[in-house]
Structure 1
Amino acid sequence: MSRKSCAVYVVGIVCASLLVLGIGLYVARVFRTVMHNRLKKEIVLVEGSRVFDSWKSPPPPVYMEYFFFNVTNLDEFLGGAKPVLKQVGPYTYREYRYKDNVSMVENDTMVSAYNVKSFVFLRDKSVGDPAVDNITTVNIPAWAVMKKVEASYKSFLVSLWMNSMGSGLFTTRTVDELLWGYEDPLLARVSATSPDVDKMFGLMYKKNGTDDGEFLYHTGVQNYLDYGRVKTWKDKNERIYIFTPDLCRSIYMEFEKELEVKGIPAYRFTPPRSVLASKEENPANEGFCVTPRECLGTGLLKVSPCRKGAPVVASFPHFYLADDKYVADIEGMRPQREHHQTFLDLNPTTGVIVRANKRAQINVLIGKVAGFPKTRAIVNDTVFPVMFLNESVVIDDASAARVQKLLLIVNVVSNFPLIIVGLGGILLIIFIILMARAHNQKNEVKRIVFTKPSYTTSTEDDTSYSPVSDKEKDDPQNGTFIGLTPKADPQA
């Protein structure tokens, strides 16, 4: 067997082996399983894992934007007209967050930590100076006290205090005061007899440089899908559940669409209308009502227990996804999905959050309160917007580069069987070409060997012998008995 034939057969054997091996590995998903097992080890919340340090101190910058609703027709509203509000903002703060007092519990299946947040004002990203700009809005401390003593003997006393101190149903305060706190005269009077009442009030009071209490997180050691409570990396039909302190409850998000953030593929999850739907529209939400009597319409959630009994109502900004009547009750509400939707963009392979916007609105439920004459002019109960926030984060460039590199490795390793199949396919083509060429060369040799040669006798032949006569040429025994006569000597 020639070297060329051996080379052809070697190519054929290697080709067949690669095809069988590649197809087998692809069907068995061996490399994909190995890669995902590796990812499982990297995304658990334990010391030394890839995500632990970034979980304790997230590298991407987080921004908190605050938008306030300024009342522009206060006297007319107190006289029975529809309130007219003007949105003022954003007042933007850089949010720094880290985990404190981190400790592993329950055999490393859970990790305990305190979420510490601090805020630094960013003038270049804001519309004005929060220490100077004034906002006229609902006097939340006054409404909280009034609702607490409603229809009791204390209502008369509280009404006298309010009149003597000039505490009205609405107040004008700076953005700084509304956010980070001020001493309210009515609360100061109440706290003198009720030590459990804080004389300070602010929508973000005691939240700068403090924590929201202790939280327990799944580490993912037992089940890596528990990490971060992300349970839907691949399945678009599942829901993501996230606890939101602003709403005092967990909300769920559902898949909306596929997109790309800084070159990283992502799934967008958003809360559907059913999350804050009324009990009539979604009976499962009845359990989130403070009492069945206080269940509100679609798009609203009363969060009094989280606000020390104050009649605070949570919603999405501008009553996005809420019943139309709440939008119609307030002049100045313009819900838009682009600006008011909460969403989470998640890479399905690694579970990394590449972009997120949490948007929530704080409202106060106001109306007639028994024992307080000033409220008689308010015709109907009104869910009155005070402020909404937009907490946003986008993966930073350095983190995005690391994720892109990781995804490249995952894709290459996971698709390695296809690469093997591709090499086998290339070798198959080479093998077919070599076999075809070998076949053509073999046919050419056969054609040369089996073709009958033809002979001619030239008159110029200088052989020393020639046939005796033409008759002998036709003799059937010619070739066996040949009579030859010498040529005539030309010199004879």
Structure 2
Amino acid sequence: MSCSTKCCLIVWSVIGGLLAILGGILIPVGDTLINKEISKEAVIENGTIAYENWIETGSPVYRSFWIFHVTNPDQIINGGKPELQQKGPYTYLVRYIPKANVTQHQNSTVTFWQPNGAVFQRHLSIGSEEETHTVLNLAVAAAPAMFKPFQGILNNYIKKSNSSLFQVRSVKEILWGYTDPFLQQIPLPSLDKTTGVFYPNNGTADGPYNVYNGKDDISKVAIIDKYKEKSSLSYWSDSYCDMINGTDAASFPPHVKNNKRLYFFSSEICRSIYGLFKNEYELKGIKLYRFVVPKESLDSPDKNPDNHCYCTDESISRNCTAAGVLDLSKCQGGKPVYLSLPHFLHASEFILKSVNGLSPNEEEHQTFIDVEPITGFTMHFAKRLQINIMFTRSNKIEIMSKLQTDFVFPVVWLNETALIDDERAKMFKSSILFPMKVLEIVQIVLITFGSVVFLACSITLCVRSSRK
């Protein structure tokens, strides 16, 4: 073997080794650079990708409603079992107003208000929002619980206003409010005479929220520090249930783990809750983790002791053994509002069987959040809830004196959902995923090419030397 050939093989062997080493070095160095860039873009600060999607939702958020139409109101009043039919969807565009009064603080938090609004979407709805249905009379059903000592007087007001336990109302009235003739009879100047499942909504704002912006610690970005200027709630009279945990579910801190709970807080359900990892899948070329709200989050305290403080009335909950419903009366001004999953999914059998016409199934009625694990950005979600009114038999109110049982009565269920659009997905892939993919390819090419060259040249040197 000539000197020139040997020298050439040695040189290429060294070059190959160096290339392989460089590729290996790029793995931790590249990860560091990527993490640094992600940490930079995930901060809630003007100019970052996270801020642009945080201040105003990048993809449209829709809220679809299904009204529970009552087909046998007279029979129910006379002791019959309710027959229900869901009518919908009636869909509205929500979360289209940017966050208001955004204020950055020196302690690495940011304060804001979330404005509420809803714009009807006829093309996504089964009919007009002026369509009418026979539904539970919200004011009449709730009044006995709110004015317990005065049920005899309430009976007179109900009769005087020609009201009943059920009424015919438009979708718009049911959801967003109407002036109630029964409430108008009650001589309390401070009592709001307007009622509706989501009244008031338009023109209001939720907050203030105070969340970590991630500037000092990216692992805390978007996590709620305070809600309404308090670090805990006051609804449940228990330090555990009153905790405010996690984010508002619009995003999460980077590097989401699939073996840990994903906590988030919702003011609508007056508590923090969590999702458990279900599966990994790809959406528009982006790998996502799906987290679902599990059955145990609404289990009875005898099955899930963590829920002990959500049991607020032992008689209604059958000595705290009922599952699937959450009493929201303390955070709804005393109104007997009970929350559940749609169609009483995961609720106790006696609750589901108290009415006819419901068909719960997880695929249609389960709440889930799909998160891009590297950045923590939420790319797809579906928040599904059912609003129910609790009322009982009352001998002092004529239209409620013959009821067959106590009811957690379904009024409406909703599905609030958003899906990253094609343009946003393309932008995310080009700005976040593409550089990562390029770096990964470079690492693989350097390690593979360098290793092949090094081994080939080294083996050739050894073989030729042994022959010589």
1:277-328 per-residue CA deviation (whole Å, 9 max, x = no partner) reads 1111112112223355554611100111232211111000001122222222
Match of 1:163 in 2: 159
The alignment's C-alpha RMSD in Å is 2.2
- In structure 2, the residue matched to 1:54 is 53
Shift of 1:23: 3.6
CA contact (8 A) 1:362 1:386 kept: yes
Q: CA–CA distance in 2 between the matches of 1:288 and 1:111?
A: 30
* CA distance in structure 2 between the aligned counterparts of 1:277 and 1:75, rounded to whole angstroms: 34
* Structure 2 equivalent of residue 325 of structure 1: 350
How far 1:87 sits from its partner (Å)?
0.7
Paired residue for 1:342? 367
Q: Hey, what does 1:224 align to over in structure 2?
A: 218
Which amino acid letter does the alignment assign opposite residue 331 of structure 1?
Answer: N
Of residues 282-291 and 344-353 in structure 1, the stretch that sits farther from structure 2 once superposed is 282-291
Residues in 1 aligned to 2:12 and 2:180: alpha-carbon distance in whole angstroms: 88
Cα pair 2:15 2:450 within 8 Å, conserved:
yes
Q: Secondary structure of the residue that 2:282 maps to in structure 1?
A: strand
1:100-119 equivalence runs, <5 A: 100-105=100-105, 107-119=106-118
Q: Is the 8 A contact 2:14 2:454 kept in 1?
A: no
Cα deviation 1:21-74 (Å, max 9, x = unaligned): 434554xx2321221122111101112222112210111011110100101111
Does the 8 Å contact 1:286/1:292 carry over to 2?
A: no
Match of 1:369, as an amino acid?
S
Q: Aligned residue pairs: how many?
A: 434
Q: Is the 8 A contact 2:69 2:135 kept in 1?
A: yes
Structure 2 counterpart of 1:174? 170
Q: Which residue of 1 aligns with 2:196?
A: 202
Aligned to 1:193: 188
- Aligned partner of 1:311 in structure 2 is 336
Note the alpha carbon deviations across 1:406-434, whole angstroms, 9 max, x for none: 11212433565444311212312542575
Bigger shift: residues 367-376 or 273-282: 367-376
> In structure 2, which of residues 132, 135, 143 is the aligned counterpart of residue 134 of structure 1?
132
Superposed CA offset, 1:195-237 (max 9, x none): 1x21111122221242123111221123212223325834212
Q: Is the 8 A contact 1:101 1:114 kept in 2?
A: yes
Partner of 1:240: 262
- In the superposition, relative to structure 1, how do residues 300 and 128 fare at CA in structure 2: closer, same or farther (>3 Å)? same
Residue of structure 1 in register with 2:87 after alignment:
88
1:272 maps to: 294
Q: What is the rounded CA distance, in whole Å, between the counterparts of 1:231 and 1:289 in structure 2? A: 32
Specify the SS of the correspondent of 2:99. Answer: strand
Separation of aligned partners in 1, 2:395 and 2:280: 52
Distance 1:292 1:44 in 2: 45
Write the distance in 2 (CA, Å) between the matches of 1:58 and 1:189. 43
Quote how far apart the aligned CAs of 1:363 are. Answer: 0.7
- The whole-number CA distance in structure 1 between the counterparts of 2:79 and 2:153 is 26
Aligned-partner Cα distance in 2 for 1:94–1:234 = 29
1:331-354 alpha-carbon deviations (Å, 9 max, x no partner): 111011111111000011111111
Return the TM-score normalized by structure 1.
0.83
1:446-489 alpha-carbon deviations (Å, 9 max, x no partner): xxxxxxxxxxxxxxxxxxxxxxxxxxxxxxxxxxxxxxxxxxxx
Deviation at 1:113, TM superposition (A): 0.6
1:410 is paired with a residue whose SS is: helix
Show the counterpart of 2:241.
none
What does residue 388 of structure 1 align with?
A: 413
Partner of 1:265: helix, strand, or coil? strand
Q: What displacement does 1:389 show? A: 0.6
Q: Is the 8 A contact 2:298 2:323 kept in 1?
A: yes
Bigger radius of gyration among the two:
1
The residue number in structure 2 matching 1:474 is: none
- The structure-2 alpha-carbon separation of the partners of 1:370 and 1:410, relative to structure 1 and needing over 3 Å to count, comes to farther
Distance in structure 2 (CA, Å) of the matches to 1:390 and 1:60: 16
Distance in 2 (CA, whole Å) between partners of 1:214 and 1:118 is: 17
Match of residue 284 from structure 2:
262
TM-score (norm 2): 0.87
Distance 1:125 1:42 in 2: 34
**In structure 2, how many angstroms separate the alpha carbons of the residues matched to 1:415 and 1:369?**
72
Q: Secondary structure at the match of 2:210?
A: strand
1:403 offset after TM fit, Å? Answer: 1.8
Q: Any unmatched runs of 5+ in structure 1?
A: 444-492
Aligned partner of residue 233 in structure 1, secondary structure: coil
CA drift of 1:18 comes to 2.6
Counterpart contact for 1:232–1:240, Cα < 8 Å: no
The residue type paired with residue 324 of structure 1 is: E
Q: Which residue in the other structure is 2:15 paired with?
A: 14
Q: Report the Cα distance in structure 1 between the residues aligned to 2:315 and 2:447, rounded to whole angstroms.
A: 66
Q: Residue 19 of structure 1: CA displacement?
A: 2.9
Secondary structure of the residue that 1:161 maps to in structure 2? Answer: helix
Which runs of no fewer than 5 residues in structure 2 stay unpaired? 223-246
Give 1:420's aligned residue.
Answer: 446
